[in-house]
Amino acid sequence: MNIPDKVVNRLTMYHFILEDIRDDEKYISSTKFANLLNIDNSQVRKDLKYVDNQGKCRVGFEAKKLKKKIEECLGFKKTKDVFIVGAGNLGSALAKYDSFKDYGLNVLAMFDKDPKKIGTFVNGKEVFDISKIANLTKRLNVEVAILTVPREYAEGVANYLAGSGIKYIWNFTTCILDVPKNVKVWNENLIGSFLQFTNTDKEA
Say which DSSP state 60 is in: B
Binding of a copy of itself by 8 (CB under 8 A): yes
Binding of a copy of itself by 24 (CB under 8 A): no
Sign of CA dihedral 87, 130, 128, 120: negative
Can you tell me which of 58, 89, 116, 182 binds a copy of itself, judged by CB under 8 A?
A: 89
Can you tell me which of 48, 144, 161, 166 binds a copy of itself, judged by CB under 8 A?
A: 144
Can you tell me which of 31, 46, 72, 97 binds a copy of itself, judged by CB under 8 A?
A: 97
Q: Cβ distance 11 to 74 under 8 Å?
A: yes
Instruction: Give ∠ CA 149-145-111 in degrees, rounded to 5.
Output: 55
Binding of a copy of itself by 3 (CB under 8 A): yes
Residue 147, Ramachandran bin (φ over 0: left; ψ between -120 and 50: alpha; else beta): beta
Q: How distant, in Å, are the alpha carbons of 21, 49, 69 from that of 42?
A: 21, 11, 19
Say which DSSP state 176 is in: P
Nearer Cβ to a copy of itself (118/144): 144
What track of x and - describes contact with a copy of itself for positions 53 through 82 (by CB under 8 A)?
A: ---------------------xx----x--
| Residues within the interface to a copy of itself (CB under 8 A) | 1-5, 8-10, 12-13, 16-17, 19-20, 36-38, 74-75, 80, 89-90, 92-94, 96-97, 99-100, 103-105, 144, 151, 155, 168, 170, 174-178, 184-199, 201-203
